[in-house]
Amino acid sequence: GPLLREDFERLRADLIRSQQVLQKGQTDLRTEFQQGDARTAQTLTEVQRSVARLQSRVDELARDTGQIQGRLDELRKRVDLLSLQLDVTGAPAGGPSAPGKAPGARLSAGPGPPGGPGPASTGGGGGVSPLPPGTGAAPSSGGAMTPSAAGTASSGSGLTAGPGFSPPSSPSSGVAPLPAATPAPTPQSPTAAAMPGTDLYQIAYMDYTKGNYNLAIAGFREYLRLNPTAELGEKAQYWIGESHFSQGRLLQARGEKDRSLKEFEQAIQAFRQVYVDHPRGARVPAAAYKEALTLVEIGQPALAEARLQWLVDSYPSTEEAAKARDDLTRLKKP
- Is residue 106 predicted with pLDDT exceeding 80? no
Contacts of 47 (CB under 8 A, 6+ apart): none
Cβ atoms < 10 Å from Cβ of 134: 16
- Examine residue 77 and state whether it is found in any structural domain, yes or no: no
Give the DSSP per-residue string, 241-287.
HHHHHHHHHHHHHTT-HHHHHHHHHHHHHHHHHHHHH-TT-TTHHHH
Exposure of 238 by Cβ count < 10 A (0-12 exposed, 13-18 middle, 19+ buried)? Answer: buried
Residue 294 sits in which domain range? Answer: 102-332
Same domain, 106 and 63: no
Query: Of 67, 93, 113, which closes a domain?
Result: 67
Closest C-alpha among 80, 79, 87, 70 to residue 209:
80
Same domain, 31 and 161: no
Percent of the chain with pLDDT over 90: 36
Region 33-43: what's the mean pLDDT? Answer: 84
Same domain, 137 and 261: yes
- Examine residue 255 and state whether it is found in any structural domain, yes or no: yes
Q: How confident is the model at residue 114 (pLDDT cuts 50, 70, 90)?
A: very low
pLDDT digits (tens, 9 = 90+) for 65-95: 777 876 776 676 666 666 665 655 554 433 3
Structural domains of the chain, count: 2
- Examine residue 96 and state whether it is found in any structural domain, yes or no: no
- Is residue 150 predicted with pLDDT exceeding 60? no
Q: What is the 3-state secondary structure (H, E, C) of 61-74?
A: HHHHHHHHHHHHHH
Query: Of 46, 67, 88, which closes a domain?
Result: 67
Which pLDDT score is estimated for 207?
94
Q: Which helix (H) or strand (E) holds 185?
A: none
Residue 196's SS3 state is coil
